């Protein structure tokens, strides 16, 4: 691993645990063994370091979804929605530190004044919501999903799934045990009467 990546990784951990104000560059230097000068050689300042992390998270999420859609064997719209739910939860459990960071308050506060930060966060949430919305629209065409407002429904569905992901990141409960019921609820919410469910 390059020194730069090692700094990014340790800083992600630090920001996710201590927030923006609480993360000190001296502590980062102790964690990575990189001198302060080395850190500021790679990143202009603390803000730049954080934005680099956020860009990294954005890229991973966008690429993973692209990859997932390419690989996916999705027969109809309902399958696509269920796939998006399952994929989001899997992503959250694969990148717990990054999701802990996304579940902090400060990035959204920063986005109010910092256009770069706003742009990254907007891309992340657009990507996530698009997948639910596309699934719903497709399902309405192929008759698996009822005629509901696709965009709004996608946001409600996403909030529900993201809430479950939070159950995991905040270690409230073993959220994995809720999975089957979550999928069942999604189906109930969206299912068109004309569509007979499997099983």
Q: Where does this chain bind another protein (CB under 8 A)?
A: 1, 3, 6, 10, 13-14, 17, 29-33, 35, 86, 89-90, 92-94, 168, 170-180
CB of residue 32 to another protein, shortest distance in Å: 7
Choose between 35 and 152: whose C-beta lies nearer to another protein: 35
CB of residue 177 to another protein, shortest distance in Å: 4
Choose between 172 and 184: whose C-beta lies nearer to another protein: 172
121 and 62 Cβ atoms separated by less than 8 Å = no
Choose between 3 and 191: whose C-beta lies nearer to another protein: 3
CB of residue 188 to another protein, shortest distance in Å: 19
Choose between 65 and 120: whose C-beta lies nearer to another protein: 65
CB of residue 106 to another protein, shortest distance in Å: 17
């Amino acid at each position: 691993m390059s020194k730069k990546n090692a700094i990014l990784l340790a800083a992600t951990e630090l920001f996710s645990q201590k927030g923006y104000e609480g993360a000190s560059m001296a502590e980062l230097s102790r964690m990575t063994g990189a001198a302060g000068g080395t850190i500021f050689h790679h990143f202009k300042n603390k803000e730049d370091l954080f934005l680099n992390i956020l860009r990294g998270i954005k890229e991973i999420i966008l690429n993973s979804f692209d990859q997932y859609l390419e690989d996916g064997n999705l027969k109809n719209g309902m399958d696509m929605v269920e796939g998006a739910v399952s994929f989001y939860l899997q992503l959250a459990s694969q990148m717990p530190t990054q999701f802990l960071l996304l579940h902090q308050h400060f990035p959204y506060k920063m986005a109010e004044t910092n256009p770069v930060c706003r742009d990254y966060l907007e891309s992340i949430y657009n990507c996530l919501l698009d997948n639910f919305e596309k699934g719903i629209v497709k399902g309405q065409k192929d008759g698996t999903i009822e005629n509901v407002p696709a965009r709004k429904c996608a946001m409600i569905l996403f909030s529900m799934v993201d809430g479950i992901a939070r159950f995991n990141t905040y270690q409230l409960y073993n959220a994995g045990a809720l999975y089957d019921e979550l999928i069942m609820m999604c189906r109930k919410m969206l299912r068109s009467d004309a569509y007979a469910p499997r099983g």
